[in-house]
Structure 1
């Protein structure tokens, strides 16, 4: 007689469970009493969650030790993760719980989110605070300066760390933590040389740096500093004139720079290998220069591929590539008698290459550089919303890099047809009072939309979703946005300086 699955020894069943996805183990736990009892085992949930963490964010920090959580907590992590994925896969994700709102005071800009906390910034005085969502307590305002640009977040044992370009004069590194106590501290501050324009801040575990240019004709340089010994620095010279639209991205210890072309769907990619960065004092016999790795063609959306559209590059966002997503580039497209649109392109993390397969270090570095390629582009009708009270652009990447939240002004509705010079009412014809040459007033503009753009590295697909809001919520009043796709919250700050935590999981 064949042995049924639930008749296998527990250790064999747990080895099978370890190969299943979160949805499968939840279904398995509901099959019968045997599997329900098996779901009380700690490893029933732990191993699948560890595997799932490689693909998507869980409702806890990436570096948190899952094994310290109880079986009940691990099961809740699995259910919350599945519920968020299911809701956000819908065309119109719905709010699933009460909205938590609290005043932001003068700190009405969002830097980034932590588990159970948020870092807020005041543009007028250059200070930051951490707000504890559980207790409502704020840290004392901490002076940073006027932030011009930020690196992607880096999760380190002591907390979330970010590098910022301040007043185009210095680089600072901030570390924030919500456990065991809410805190924010300055880990690095380095003045920059005067006479340069700086952009595209980057940071990895050992160095922090920035791109710079002296004027419109000099080539772009990459300057990096050792995080532990700020006096150690290196300057890498590229062969590329400065570009108004560029961004940096870090994979391992290699730093990539993407120069988005202004007028066509191409991007120039440069790769800075770790040996040229400030991991050690500069060596006199080393050539500190890099050339373009390759030209990457931005894939056009199918719905726009046949239209005569012009491109205008907008920005490049970098993310910490925990889940296979790496960089996001954004451009506007427009054409004769065509409605404007935004095009969002996702650049997945390149697959690692084995160093042993290359005869020389130079060959290995060239191959690494050419791996950075765009994959999918989303077309979004309309333009990025820019409300009067908005300090920064209303487009932000989630910490995971797998999703963007943005506020978009839809295209204006078509103008109504010109009215006839007469009107018919109750069967009688009357002359219209209106002047036939008078201009017809345009129809009212539709309110902005709160959108979610997502990339799935497993399916290699991109999708667009409109986040639903309460009917009384006026999207014209949104002045700051953020996205916590660990816990499933959209965070909005409105013009009345109120922070709204909106749950979608």
Structure 2
């Protein structure tokens, strides 16, 4: 039998082999094989490996759209080691704190609107003053001008990211509650300066009920309802962000009484899905991209009627919930996610029993080009304990990737932070309790933030004290 040593293969073949390995294997091979070690000293290998990791819906220790070719070899190696360190730590049942916790006092009561993934930049909102400002937690100070947005943020969509820019859509209500606006807040960074702009603003009817705000690369809008009508029905109002005269109003036949207060919107290949739930079922309604004011949609009709009741899908909440009685379940929230990572939304339910539990339901992206709600898959995770009483927006949050949920929970009067991780590639999940020092009183936590690129969990308590806790 003729055998050939791996080292006898041509160099370009060996390099191609490494390109199909994950970061952990490449690092291991470089430690046991001199040829692979030589390849590991080249920038091109690590750029290829990190870009491949991102293509498999896995965050790395840089912003998602960052240009990796601008980094030196040593900088790329640090990104690789940071990414692997976080992966190893978050696979533990009790992930450990790795590094120093940054702690400082914020001036007044500030809410975290979002953190720019892979950075130390946080967009903060003062409800009392009706303004926003960007903080650099590493520098422990604001790094942008204060921007007045005209009121308090009452709803916001997930963060949209591109190279050097992060943005979110939000509904802002004036303090007199007589004025309401739909806005897009944009943060530009990376050139030495941080600049905040309100790039879109439309006045809304304050007397209407706004159930959800949404946006993607082209459009922004709301799902709303006029409760003064005899039979209130849901309608979708969408605007093109760049073409001022292009908008659409999609009137649906979904009666408000069919919905719960919790409504979320997700997108897949520009098609829209509206999610809502009650204790017994999760309802999904599809809206085709052809009805929405995208830049390419030149044949758009401004007003359309969508017969959702003929095509919606009701998926039983109690399936896969260990035969729990639906009457014992309470809907907490539904959050839209970015399907680029494989998850389009999550729903959170609480079980009201002597031994309470929380259920996290991940709605997977499904197949591009198939807008049927039946195309959505799901994965359910049960977490013991109850959600902590919460003075902020929610007692839990979804990471930017949509594959990790951070929950502030309580069990036998002890507060703790629980991490639920989901891998959409193999449809498996895991539960982890975070290591939090006793010096941080979780019973008075007001705000949470989670960066699954750098592995930093940030908590803000009611005193205005911020703690940035590193897990990589």
TM-score by length of 2: 0.90
Aligned equivalents of 1:22 and 1:158: distance in 2?
Answer: 25
> Which of 270, 275, 284 pairs up with 2:290?
275
Alignment match, 2:203: 191
| Residue matched to 2:64 | 62
In 2, Cα distance between equivalents of 1:110 and 1:451: 19
Matched, 1:345 2:361: yes
Q: What is the CA distance between 1:300 and its match in structure 2?
A: 4.8
Gaps of 5+ in 2: 174-178
What are the equivalent positions in structure 2 for 1:57-456 lying under 5 Å apart? 57-114=59-116, 115-138=119-142, 139-144=144-149, 145-167=151-173, 169-180=180-191, 181-215=193-227, 217-242=231-256, 243=259, 244-260=261-277, 262-264=278-280, 266-279=281-294, 283=300, 287-292=304-309, 293-298=311-316, 300=318, 304-305=322-323, 310-335=328-353, 338-353=354-369, 367-387=370-390, 390-410=391-411, 412=412, 446-456=413-423
Q: CA deviation at 1:374?
A: 4.1
Q: 2: CA distance between counterparts of 1:199 and 1:107?
A: 26
Partner of 2:36: 35
**Please, which runs of 5 or more residues in structure 1 have no aligned partner?**
354-366, 413-445
Matched, 1:466 2:433: yes
Larger Rg belongs to: 1
8 Å contact kept, 1:301–1:378: no
Q: Does the 8 Å CA contact 1:6/1:35 hold for their aligned counterparts? A: no
8 Å CA contact 1:408, 1:449 repeated in 2: yes
Contact 1:301 1:377 in 2 (8 A): no
SS at match of 1:86: helix
Task: Give the CA deviation at 1:134.
Answer: 3.7
The Cα of 1:58 is off from its aligned counterpart by 0.8
Query: Relative to 1, partners in 2 of residues 1:309 and 1:30: Cα closer, same or farther, differing over 3 Å?
Result: farther
Preserved CA contact (<8 Å) 2:171 2:182: yes
Q: Could you say if the C-alpha distance between residues 15 and 257 of structure 1 is closer, same or farther in structure 2, counting changes exceeding 3 Å?
A: same
Quote how far apart the aligned CAs of 1:44 are: 2.0
* Higher mean displacement: 480-489 or 241-250: 241-250
- TM-superposed CA distance for 1:249, in Å, is 0.9
Equivalent residue number for residue 6 of structure 1: 7
RMSD after superposition: 2.2
User: Cα deviation per residue 1:132-156 (whole Å; 9 max; x = unaligned)?
Assistant: 2343341232122211111111113
Q: CA deviation at 1:296?
A: 4.0
Q: Is the 8 A contact 2:291 2:301 kept in 1?
A: no
Residues 203 and 285 of structure 1: CA distance in aligned 2, closer, same or farther (over 3 Å)? closer
Deviations 1:271-299 (A, max 9, x none): 21121112357755984324143324256
Contact residue 301 and residue 379 of structure 1 kept, 8 A: no
For residue 86 of structure 1, report the CA deviation from its aligned partner. 1.4
Partner Cα distance (2:147, 2:90) in 1: 35
C-alpha separation in 2, matches of 1:309 and 1:199: 24
Distance 1:290 1:62 in 2: 37
Q: 1:79 to 1:299 in 2, by over 3 A?
A: farther
Q: Aligned pairs, how many?
A: 452
Distance 2:288 2:321 in 1: 38
- For 2:339 and 2:363, the matched residues in 1 are separated by 10
Separation in 2 of the partners of 1:271 and 1:163? 21
**TM-score, length basis structure 1:** 0.84
Distance in 2, matches of 1:267 and 1:469, equals 34
Q: Assess if the C-alpha contact under 8 Å between 2:145 and 2:196 holds in 1.
A: no
Are the counterparts in 1 of residues 251 and 304 from structure 2 also a CA contact under 8 Å?
Answer: no
Q: Evaluate the alpha carbon distance shift between residue 102 and residue 394 of structure 1 in structure 2; reply closer, same or farther with a 3 A threshold.
A: same
Distance in 2 (alpha carbons) for counterparts of 1:7 and 1:296: 59
**Per the alignment, in what secondary structure is the counterpart of residue 26 of structure 2?**
helix
